[in-house]
Amino acid sequence: MLRPRHRLHPYLFLAPTLGILGTFFLFPLGLAAYRSLYRWDLLTPPRFVGLAHYERLFSSGEILRTLTITLSYAAVVVSGSMFLGLLLALAVNRKGKFVAFVRSCVFSAYVVSWVSVALLWMWLLDADAGLVGRACKALGIGEAGLLTSPSTAIYALAGVTIWKITGFSMVVFLAGRQDIPEDLYEAASLDGAGPLARFVHITWPCLRPTTAFVGTTSLIVSFQAFDIVRVMTQGGPTHSTTVFVYAIYEHVLLNLRAGRASAMVVVFFGVLLLLTLVQLWAWRMGRRSR
Amino acid sequence: MKQKGLARYLLNAVLLIVAVAWLGPYLWMVLGSFKSLKDIMNAPLAPLPSAFHGEAYAEVFRSIPVGRYLLNTTVMALSIAALQIMLVLPAGYALAKLRFVGRGAAFLTVMACLLIPAQVTFVPVFLMLAQVKLVNTMTALVLPFGASALGTFMVRQALLAIPDELIEAARLDGASELTIVYRILAPMLAPTLASLFLLSFVFHWNDYFWPLVMTTDESVRTMPLAVALLREQGTGVRWHIVMAGNVILSAPALFVFAMTQKHLLRAVAARR
Amino acid sequence: MTLQRRALLQSLTAAVFGSALGCSRDADRGSAQSVALWFSYGGKNREVLERMVHRYNQSQQGIRVLATFQGDYFEALAKLRTAIVARSAPVMSHVVGEVVPYLHEAGVLEPLDAYPDAQNLGLVPALAQVGTYTPTEPKPLVALPFNRSTPILYWNGAMLERARLSVPESWDELREAAKALTVRSNDRVSTWGLECPISWWFWVALMGQAGGEVMGADGYPLLGEEAGVEALQLWQRMVHEDKTMRPPPGRDYNAWQVTNQDFLAGRAAMIYTSTAFLRYLEEHATFPVRAAPLPGFRRRAVPTGGTFFVMMKSAPDHEKQAAWDFLRWMMQPEQTIEWATSTGYMPVASDAVARLEREGFYQKSPNDRVAMDQLKYAMPWPWAESLFRVQRECVDPRLEEAVLNRQDARSLLNEARKQALEDT
């Protein structure tokens, strides 16, 4: 740590960054908190209603419903992409053209836009005209269309998300795996440890920080999901895919309720804050065990 | 030994399936883009088009100004990425290397912003920008993302690993603070900066949400937005047209990926 | 390798810049007054509108209409509202009838009464602003009808003939016909008797046929009371008991699109949808497409649908004048005829209707006549600020819940009513 040459230097260096972050992220959040106390449709003058929006959001069960949907989506996405990513990372952890090719294939989905992926899978999952949709139908899964029946839609979205982001967790896990010194494995082999024992005693513990990172990153990604919902289901059928961000978007732009949307923003931020705490805790635990 | 060979064989078979699971959809998309409306409607599951039609592409180019949208998207993503690089360096430097009152608070602020997605702030931001008549401008698309909380964090972490002595030596040599940041430290952080640039470029190139809510005008509309609009619900399916748009939208991203693959993969891995 | 890459990049850049310049050149040709028009038609209807705008631009020198596609009705409306706030709204757009009262009460619509010829456009009353809403104290003219429609019943001519059925006139006959037309093998349905988007518009039609009203004279959200429940129960019965109706999957217009596709592919023998798709369905069907009025129950009733042109009060005067010139042009019989005969929407000018009648158009294409004839059963919309919110927020999601999750229709509509009365 150095002493700045001029007292103002650090502040000047930080000013553009903090200025932009403050203007476009922190201040709007404060503004949202203020607006959440008003009934406001953007066009006619706002009217003060106190905490009525919060009361409504909680008493109508909307918060609970939205949170449940978001959480079940996140749970599937996080566990699915982590599991698949880890498995793939271990499988492609060798040299050679073929595995490099497989790696590129899987990772490429991470590079392509959500819109592309959403449109593509919307077509693939179509129960009548889609390759995957028809296959599923033939197997007796999702007769009514995976994306279009309330009981499966959110999991279909989660599946597409997993397809999109598994490449990311694979690459991160792979890097984590390659950081583990090979002599650990050699020593274990000499001691007669099989592949499973080596995984349980070496790979898994050494990958713990990586796991924490992948887990929290994909958790945040899934809490911020919007594009895929907007393109593929618009929150439906019957609200079954109305995740948090989509609910906010719907309130303000489609239902003409800027006030209630703002209240939703505040609650959503609370949830995200909670998630950060979990993240920080997970990182700390991960680093400590390294 | 024989068992091992078999295992390797099986593993490769599984990996082949994996490759197909990820490559197959793209292939389907490309094939779909060459189908005609008749193919789409009458034989939706036939893998090959009856003949390779350019019809869908022609329709895409006819209904949207592809060139302008691609240009908008590129300009937007490049400006954001470049601006971020310019701003994260001094900010990361201050946070990593300088002792000053409020450093902890500043760091916390940056970290907190990591947690506020744009989807949460767009209404107030939209109204603010509307008040200064910036909606429907490139500024509205670029400025809010000019500072990167994640990038600042990444640069700070990277700088922590660089010994203070090096900076002290540079100071003794008479280098100004800006020279130290942009001329001495930046090259040392080249991998971090390059990865930040790439990740940010790809992210914003693909971004749908912000342009969706910040633009109404065609003049600043970006490609993801236009492609999503190609669906044109109303009369009937147009999957071949949507897929043609999709190919145009994803090809540049995949091209960038192919060109910078090694680097991008390392960048993602390094974010841990 | 690098050389090749560079060459590739160069040609790419050239292509991108080239076409970008090309576009801008086209956009600001000459010194004509440019006026923006946002629209939300896709596919066939978009092509027709673009063709007409082009023709208008060619027909005179002074005004150039720039038409921009903004997504479906609801997407475009969202855009419009945010743009109004941002003071970047176009001078013209078109919006669904249900939201006109709200936009008017919010004070964003330009009153059109004083514009030249506004009083003698000769519009079909039931389709114009006056006839579309329940009479209230006189409101200024803020909306001009453009693409107006009613829901109609389409049927697959070949299938109906094969089943030797006549067109259903009542709900009972509809259920019977749907039963007769549904084709099953091993419990799997290959052709559905009826398909109808589970959506506000069709629910309002059924509710009206059962004798209900959306709102009372005082603006109280009746939602048809018992009639609303009966409407939902008809769907529930046909979907879950008779298993003869397919609720098309997808939200909003996605479901409408699926309905069209299923009809064209022979997966649905009868569909309820807008008269707007008449031309599209006729052009793409491999069987004779027939249209009929919606069956009645206690009475015949249909809502009107589609959109109205509106002008933004906030636009500069010279733009409003120019926009008016275009709107007036669009209201002329010649244009309304082109629009109606190429799409399936109804011609909004009385003279146009008379001319089509005279020239034997309705004789030749009786399908087009159905919606016009049905107009005598049209239910006016209540002029209520909350109408659009009631539609989108209170009713629409609950219709899905009733039909897809088979929840109790009465309690759902009670909830909807309660929510409609909320004031926050």
A44, A237, A253: residue with CB nearest C106: A44
- Kindly report which listed range (C184-188, C313-317, C326-330) carries the lowest average pLDDT score: C184-188
The stretch C135-147 carries a mean pLDDT of 89
Interface test with B, best of A3, A5, A13 (most B CBs within 10 A): A13
Q: What's the pLDDT band for B195 if we cut at 50, 70, 90?
A: confident
- Are C285 and C396 part of one and the same domain? yes
In tens, the pLDDT along A129-177 reads 788 888 888 888 777 778 888 889 999 999 999 999 999 999 999 999 9
Question: pTM for the full model?
Answer: 0.88
Q: What's the pLDDT band for C282 if we cut at 50, 70, 90?
A: very high
Q: Do C249 and A147 touch (CB under 8 A)?
A: yes
Q: Where are the domains of chain A?
A: 69-288
A39, A41, A253: residue with CB nearest C78: A253
- Are C261 and C116 part of one and the same domain? no
Report phi then psi at C312, rounded to 5.
-85, 130
Bridge pairing between strands C63-69 and C92-96: unpaired
- Are C137 and C268 part of one and the same domain? no
Q: How far is A247 from chain C (nearest CA, A)?
A: 12
- Kindly tell me if the per-residue pLDDT of C5 is higher than 70: no
ipTM of the complex model: 0.89
- Kindly tell me if the per-residue pLDDT of C28 is higher than 80: no
Q: How far is C108 from chain A (nearest CA, A)?
A: 8
- Are C249 and C392 part of one and the same domain? yes
Total number of domains in chain C:
2
- Are C167 and C286 part of one and the same domain? yes
The stretch A226-230 carries a mean pLDDT of 93
Q: What's the pLDDT band for A288 if we cut at 50, 70, 90?
A: low
Model pLDDT, residue B235: 60
Q: Do C19 and B135 touch (CB under 8 A)?
A: no
Which chains share 3+ C-beta pairs under 8 angstroms with A? B, C
Q: Do C84 and A239 touch (CB under 8 A)?
A: no
Q: Do C404 and A128 touch (CB under 8 A)?
A: no
B23 Cβ neighbours under 8 A, 6+ residues apart? A105
C16, C44, C277: residue with CB nearest B71: C16
In tens, the pLDDT along C97-122 reads 999 999 999 999 999 999 999 988 99
Model pLDDT, residue A106: 94
Model pLDDT, residue A247: 93
Which stretches of C39-141 are DSSP H helices?
A: 43-59, 73-85, 100-105, 129-132
- Are C159 and C131 part of one and the same domain? no
**Which residue, A133, A60, A237, is CA-closest to C403?**
A237
DSSP secondary structure, C27-50, as one string: HT-TTPEEEEEEE---HHHHHHHH
Q: What angle do CA B158, B159, B161 make, to 5 degrees?
A: 75
Q: How far is C15 from chain B (nearest CA, A)?
A: 7
Q: What's the pLDDT band for C387 if we cut at 50, 70, 90?
A: very high
CATH number among 3.30.930.10, 1.10.3720.10, 1.10.150.20, 1.10.390.10, domain B65-229 = 1.10.3720.10
The stretch A11-30 carries a mean pLDDT of 92
Mean per-residue pLDDT of chain B: 88
Q: Do B74 and C69 touch (CB under 8 A)?
A: no
Domain assignment of residue C190, given as a range: 151-303+386-421
- Are C145 and C156 part of one and the same domain? no
The stretch A266-273 carries a mean pLDDT of 88
B19, B168, B202: residue with CB nearest A105: B19
Within-domain flag for C393: yes
Check residues C304 and A149 and name the one with the higher pLDDT: C304
Superfamily of domain A69-288: MetI-like (1.10.3720.10)
- Are C247 and C391 part of one and the same domain? yes
Model pLDDT, residue C30: 55
Check residues B110 and B131 and name the one with the higher pLDDT: B110
- Are C78 and C141 part of one and the same domain? yes
Q: What angle do CA A17, A19, A21 make, to 5 degrees?
A: 65
Q: What's the pLDDT band for C423 if we cut at 50, 70, 90?
A: low
- Are C203 and C85 part of one and the same domain? no
Widest Cα–Cα separation across chain A = 77
- Are C190 and C295 part of one and the same domain? yes
Q: Do C84 and A233 touch (CB under 8 A)?
A: no
Q: Do A120 and B28 touch (CB under 8 A)?
A: yes
- Kindly tell me if the per-residue pLDDT of C10 is higher than 60: no
CA dist list (Å): A109 to A74, B14, B226, B257, C166: 19, 19, 20, 10, 53
Q: What's the pLDDT band for B233 if we cut at 50, 70, 90?
A: low
Bridge partner list, B81: none
- By the CB < 8 Å criterion, does A254 face chain C? yes
In tens, the pLDDT along C31-62 reads 789 999 999 887 778 889 999 999 999 999 99
Model pLDDT, residue B211: 92
Q: What's the pLDDT band for C137 if we cut at 50, 70, 90?
A: confident
Q: Which residues in A lie closer than 8 A to residue C267 (C-beta atoms)?
A: 128
CA dist., res. C336 & res. C353, Å (int): 9
Q: How far is B38 from chain C (nearest CA, A)?
A: 9
Q: Do A265 and B100 touch (CB under 8 A)?
A: no
- By the CB < 8 Å criterion, does A39 face chain C? yes
Q: How far is A274 from chain C (nearest CA, A)?
A: 28
Model pLDDT, residue A163: 96
Q: What's the pLDDT band for C269 if we cut at 50, 70, 90?
A: very high
- Are C333 and C236 part of one and the same domain? no
Model pLDDT, residue C240: 94
Q: How far is A121 from chain B (nearest CA, A)?
A: 8
SS3 of C312-334: ECCCCHHHHHHHHHHHHHHHCHH
In tens, the pLDDT along C83-103 reads 888 888 899 999 999 999 999
Helix axes A9-21, B66-97, angle to 10 degrees: 140
Residue of C nearest to A148 (CA): C249
